[in-house]
A = this chain, B = another copy of it.
Amino acid sequence: VDTLTEYKALLGDIDKLNSAVSLLQWDQRTYIPAGGHTGRAEVLGKLSKMAFELATSDRLGGLIASLEGAEDLSELERASVRVVGRDYRRNKAIPADLFERFTIARVNSESAWEQSKDSSDFASFAPHLSEMVRYVRQFAELYGYDESPYDALLEEYEPGMTAARLRAIIEPLKAKLVPFLRHLMENGSAPDTSFLRGRFSVKAQRDLAMEALRAIAYDFDAGRMDDTTHPFTIEIGPGDVRVTNRYHEDLVLSGLFSALHEGGHALYGQGIPETLRPLGLADGASYGIHESQSRLWENMVGRSLPFWRYFHSKIADALPTLGGRSPEDLCGAANVVQPSLIRVEADEVTYNLHIMLRFELEVALLTGDLDVMGLPDAWRDGMRRYLGVEPTCHADGVLQDVHWSAGLIGYFPSYMLGNLYAAQLYATARRELPNLDEQIERGQATVLLEWLREKIHHQGRIYEPETLIQLVTGEPPRSTFFVDYVTEKYSRVYGL
């Protein structure tokens, strides 16, 4: 039990360093003056290194080892040792000097990507990408895996998930989604968005985004919302989970939906009990589960008619020129489907298709089935197959995302899993909360929030995502819920 006290104290120290790191990052992306960036990078580097040194210390290793052999641990303590032990072994698997070389290569790769994207020149980025692929392949070997090296990378973002499981989830989804999209585009009639044209003040949009966070019961006593360039949510520490957002004068709904998206992440963070913190379990179950919370609030709730019946009056207050529009008009305009080249602009129907392509390509890169130089052709071919569109330049194609340049391979599937989990969770919530639509329409989103708190948020990192989904929904993760959701919704919106 003394071991347990020491173990918790050490996890607490790591947690406190990470809290400082989070605030340094938040400030770096919100309020820091231009002149502060160079110094900030060094402070961040130093503190991150200190946290990593503690997280890979022999002291922590020893404590984990003794606790793994202990008999008298509670259920929760056992979960802690399992999760913290897994992180520890992964962190230790990469030798420090290899990781340092990777870090330097990554910085170069990211800046090469930025330049290549600007000039839409894939060839100058290709050697960096090849290097990144070599590094992550080496990491996969060091982490270890049963079937595919890709599994070792997935483990970082979606513990327990494998490439084979992903394929089993994706195949039926693809089989339904590709033809449905074609059907929608050929036979459906798109909702009117003409009234969204024009310029809308950033201040009014910001006020509206605040209203949206209030509407989903985001706790402003345990967080705040500030402006940034690329929106993110960050947990600074206990009672402090912050949202950031951005606004475009000519895209009036964009800031609203990104607030709901980030708000969904933040509700998850605010809902995790402090009792899990000393055990290192006060975090989301996986990137995919985290994304399920953001997508659920952004799409299942935020793009639904009940929500607009409630939120409609807030729109009228903040943006009087849209005040005359009905909830049906506004909700319709928020649900346009359009196959496009860019993932981050994709709608609910096409988004997952972008991910499927990336998954297919990164597996092929990792296993050596595809050479980096063959990537642009494979990209174009895939875009045609999945979405029926083709980029005319690399910047709108294979160079559009930052992830690969930073060695983030195995990350993309989390976005798709988030969508699928969200649909599966929402279907369950509707079953268990029969008046959910009426409650949302009356502005009582807390009913849904309480359900998510109990089912998902309160569990922190105790369970692997698949187990958690199974526990909450009674089934393993499947794509049928998502297929049913988009088919029903968009058939309706597109008058099919």
- Are B33 and A20 in contact, CB atoms less than 8 angstroms apart? no
Q: Is A327 an interface residue (CB 8 A)?
A: no
A263 shortest CB reach to chain B, Å = 15
CA distance A204 to B237 in the complex (A): 34
Contact among B20, B36, B37, B237 for A47, CB-based, below 8 A: B20
- Are A223 and B33 in contact, CB atoms less than 8 angstroms apart? yes
A217 shortest CB reach to chain B, Å = 14
Contact among B16, B37, B224 for A42, CB-based, below 8 A: B16
With A35-B239, A238-B38, A238-B39 known as contacts, the answer to whether A16 contacts B46 (CB < 8 A) is yes
Contact among B33, B37, B40, B221 for A220, CB-based, below 8 A: B33
Residues of B within 8 A of A34 (CB): 221-222, 239
Copy tally for this chain in the complex stands at 2
CA distance A33 to B213 in the complex (A): 15
A91 shortest CB reach to chain B, Å = 21
A3 shortest CB reach to chain B, Å = 21
CA distance A221 to B33 in the complex (A): 5
CA distance A32 to B46 in the complex (A): 24
Q: Is A24 an interface residue (CB 8 A)?
A: yes
Residues of B within 8 A of A164 (CB): none
- Supply 20 A–B pairs (Cβ within 8 Å), ascending by A: A13-B46, A16-B42, A17-B47, A19-B43, A20-B23, A20-B47, A27-B27, A31-B224, A31-B226, A33-B222, A33-B239, A35-B219, A35-B240, A36-B237, A36-B238, A36-B240, A37-B239, A39-B240, A40-B240, A43-B237
Chain A residues engaging chain B, CB cutoff 8 angstroms: 13, 16-17, 19-20, 23-24, 27, 31-40, 42-43, 46-47, 219-224, 226, 236-240, 242
